[in-house]
Amino acid sequence: MRTVGLGIIGLGTVGTGVVKILHSRRAGITERVGGEVRVERFCDKVVSSKPELGIRAGTVSRDYRELLADPKVDVIVELVGGYEPARSIILEALKAGKHVVTANKAVLAKHWDEIIGSAQKAGRLVYFEAAVGGGIPVIQGLNEGLAANRIRRIVGILNGTTNFILSKMSEEGLAFDEALKLAQASGFAESDPTFDVQGIDSAHKLAVLSSIAYGGWVKLSDVYTEGITHVNPLDLELARREFGYGLKLLGISAEHDGLIEARVHPAFLPLSHPFTTVKNEYNAIEIVGDASGDVIFYGKGAGQMPAASAVVSDVIFLARQVIEGTAGKLPTVTYDEHKKLRILDRKDFLSKYYLRFTTKDKPGVLSKISGILGEEGVSISSVYQPMVADRESQRPKSVKGRPRTDPHAAHILLTTHSAPEGHIQKAVQEIDRLPTACAKTVCIRIEEP
């Protein structure tokens, strides 16, 4: 029977999950591949045997180059994460004639041109299903399943950690810091969650999806990125109660007559939108094709076994091609190094907005605010002045995350019709300079189909 040899680099959470599936599903995988998939070598920082996983210390090396030099290894499975040494491992593996499976969205987003270009030149494959959406087969869905379409738009909840945090802030009224601590204690957040909470992890994933969708490299720097660290539970509560909105961290990209728009930021969605029911570590990605219309992918976006499921599915499809002798004859994704995408400037993004002004409660303030918005061509959809201060004082003290409210300040909540971002920002800057302004205006985009 033909054998396909794997070299697995990184035996952390996902790597261990991959080994578990390769063991438990051995017979099914062999049948699917038409040959045996055998892990020939491992590479990890710590060289130790793991008998429960069938890993002998003799097969574990500290130097990944030993795996690249091993002729029995056909496929390198890179599971170290981060930019380096992942980039070097992938590029050197391709140069050494190996195919690559990676779960690493960061390195793909940052070095897409180099990695995909090198794979094409080397006639080798790079598969990366686990890079976006954990166990959700969204890469195959987009790249193969929707290949007939011109992709119009992608909207996704792409990060489980921030989705968990926003779920807890919304359901339990927790402040951001408290919800983050809970996410870490529950094992959802990474020990360093910076990339997650600042939106960078979502931006990596959006860049990868968009690069496939629009047939050119959407760089990380092309994605406008805003995280959730500044989200105040007061806005979650007010927007839910007064306007029927829920908040999600969204990655959004779209193509408008050759111009690509790409952004990651918190956004309100109507509670009737299916994404508002996506909770905790779950991800959801809506892709709109010109022929297919809307397609929604949903599932566990993080965690050992969902990510391992995606890695092993890549291994199976790659191994099948290795056995058939077709691996690398066709590239994984369409990529033309000469194709340069034009990126829509942030000031031209069109969005509806939720604005919360904190002002002195005096006659004429509202007319001044609406006048400035009008001068910038921003049309108001609804206005509301909640009695926040009164309600605050009536709340039980035991409820956590309660924002302090100046009893003399008024909150004016306002939603706008769709307007260019540049106009909104200019109006808000002017409003924040008014002598009646008590705090910086909270601006949150609204995504309403």
Paired tokens of 368 = 């001044």
Nearest residue (CB) to ligand HSE, 120 versus 159: 159
- Give the chain's length: 449
Nearer to ligand HSE (CB atom), residue 156 or residue 328? 156
Q: Applying CB under 6 A, which part among 156-164, 234-242, 271-279, 361-369 lies near ligand HSE?
A: 156-164
Sites for ligand HSE among residues 56-85 (CB under 6 A): none
Start-to-end Cα distance in the chain: 53
Residue 361 as a binder of ligand HSE (CB under 6 A): the answer is no
Residue 77 CA to residue 42 CA, distance in Å, equals 9
Among 161, 210, 309, 332, binds ligand HSE (CB under 6 A): 161
159 or 359, CB closer to ligand HSE? 159
Closest approach, Cβ 264 to ligand HSE, in A, equals: 13
Q: How far is the CB of 236 from ligand HSE (least distance, A)?
A: 20
Active site residue 205: yes
For ligand HSE, which stretch binds (CB under 6 A), given 25-33, 158-166, 226-234, 236-244? 158-166
**Cα four-point dihedral sign 149, 151, 152, 153:** positive
Q: Which span sits near ligand HSE by CB under 6 A: 141-149, 157-165, 342-350, 396-404?
A: 157-165
Report how far residue 40's alpha carbon sits from residue 197's, in angstroms, rounded to the nearest whole number: 38
Provide the mask over 249-288, with x wherever binding to ligand HSE is found by CB under 6 A and - wherever it is not: ----------------------------------------
Q: How far apart are CA 415 and CA 357, in angstroms?
A: 11
Amino acid at 34: G
Is residue 129 a contact point for ligand HSE (CB under 6 A)?
A: no
Count CB-CB contacts under 10 A for residue 14.
24
Q: Which residue in 160, 173, 299, 328 binds ligand HSE (CB under 6 A)?
A: 160
Interface with ligand HSE, residue 196, by CB under 6 A: yes
Shortest Cβ distance from residue 345 to ligand HSE (Å)? Answer: 29
Which CB, 11 or 428, lies closer to ligand HSE? 11
Residue 191 three-state SS: coil
Q: What is the smallest separation between the CB atom of 22 and ligand HSE, expressed in angstroms?
A: 21
Q: Based on C-alpha coordinates, what's the Rg of the chain?
A: 25
Minimum CB separation of residue 101 from ligand HSE in Å reads 15
Interface residue with ligand HSE among 61, 102, 104, 159 (CB under 6 A) is: 159
Q: Of 74, 11, 76, 4, which is closest to residue 38 (Cα–Cα)?
A: 4
Q: How far is the CB of 159 from ligand HSE (least distance, A)?
A: 4
- Which DSSP symbol is given to 131? G
Count of residues in contact with ligand HSE, rule CB under 6 A = 8
Cβ proximity to ligand HSE, 160 vs 233, nearer residue: 160
Q: Which stretch binds ligand HSE (CB under 6 A): 42-50, 155-163, 379-387, 423-431?
A: 155-163
In angstroms, give the least distance from the CB of 201 to ligand HSE. Answer: 5
Q: Which residue's CB is nearer to ligand HSE, number 116 or number 302? A: 302
Instruction: Kindly tell me which residue out of 7, 216, 301, 328 binds ligand HSE, with binding defined by CB under 6 A.
Output: 301
Give the Cα separation of 201 and 105 in Å (integer).
8
116 contacts: CB under 8 Å, gap ≥ 6: 126, 331, 332, 333, 335
190 binds ligand HSE (CB under 6 A): yes
Stretch of 54-62, 153-161, 228-236, 252-260 contacting ligand HSE, by CB under 6 A: 153-161
Closest CA to 149 of 276, 22, 289, 245: 289
Question: Where do we find the tokens 């406008």?
Answer: 224
Which of 105, 110, 168, 205 is catalytic? The answer is 205
CB of 130 to ligand HSE, least distance (A): 8
Give yes or no for residue 302 binding ligand HSE (CB under 6 A). Answer: yes
36 part of the interface to ligand HSE, by CB under 6 A: no
Which pairs with CB-CB distance under 8 Å and at least 24 residues apart come from 171-180?
172/400, 172/401, 173/233, 173/237, 173/399, 173/400, 173/401, 173/402, 174/233, 174/400, 174/401, 175/232, 175/233, 175/400, 175/401, 175/403, 176/228, 176/229, 176/230, 176/231, 176/233, 178/400, 178/401, 179/401
Phi, psi of 209 (to 5 degrees): -60, -45
Is 157 near ligand HSE (CB under 6 A)?
no
For residue 304, which of 16, 104, 11, 46 has the smallest C-alpha distance? 16
Give the interface with ligand HSE as residue ranges (CB under 6 A).
Answer: 159-161, 190, 196, 201, 301-302
Q: Which residues are catalytic?
A: 205
